Amino acid sequence: MTAIFILAFIGFCISFYAYFVETKIKKEPEYKPACDINDRISCSKPILSEYGNIFYFSNGLMGMIYYLIVAALAFFDASQLVLIAAIGGCLASAVLAYILYFKIKSLCIVCMSLYIVNILILLFSLHIL
């Protein structure tokens, strides 16, 4: 469970960065985050898109809450609940990846990093790694 706790911490940090970028751009529209490499590889494009908020909440904020829950479950060694959360996280990642690549038509380093974290959490929760 230590690996899952560490991965959840990494996911929280990446989600925090996404939330930071979102709030910074909304306050300072001219701000260019480090994750914006060009028009095709951009984290601000999906963050500011119509898909950047799920259920009226920022995806970055939702990610921070999700990873806090996963970290708490891992800390308390609730392996079955971690597995359920990991499956949900991977399903959400699959939907968001589809939206990112086919609707927004962008590559997002921050988003892809979170997809990898979610896959690793699932694999560790299945005891594959």
Which of these, 27, 26, 30, 31, lies nearest to 52 by C-alpha position? Answer: 26
Is there a contact between 83 and 123 (Cβ–Cβ < 8 Å)?
no
Could you tell me the CATH number of the domain that includes residue 19? 1.20.1440.130
Domain, as residue range, for 25 = 2-125
- pTM passes above 0.85: yes
Helix/strand/coil for 12:
helix
Long-range contacts of 4-10 (CB under 8 A, 24+ apart): 4/70, 4/74, 4/82, 4/121, 4/124, 4/125, 5/71, 5/74, 5/75, 7/117, 7/120, 7/121, 7/124, 8/67, 8/68, 8/70, 8/71, 8/74, 8/121, 9/67, 9/71, 10/117
Which of these, 89, 74, 103, lies nearest to 14 by C-alpha position? Answer: 89
What is the tally of structural domains in the chain? Answer: 1
pLDDT in tens, the chain (129 residues): 899 999 999 999 999 999 999 999 999 999 999 999 998 999 999 998 999 998 889 999 999 999 999 999 999 999 999 999 999 999 999 999 999 999 999 999 999 999 999 999 999 999 865
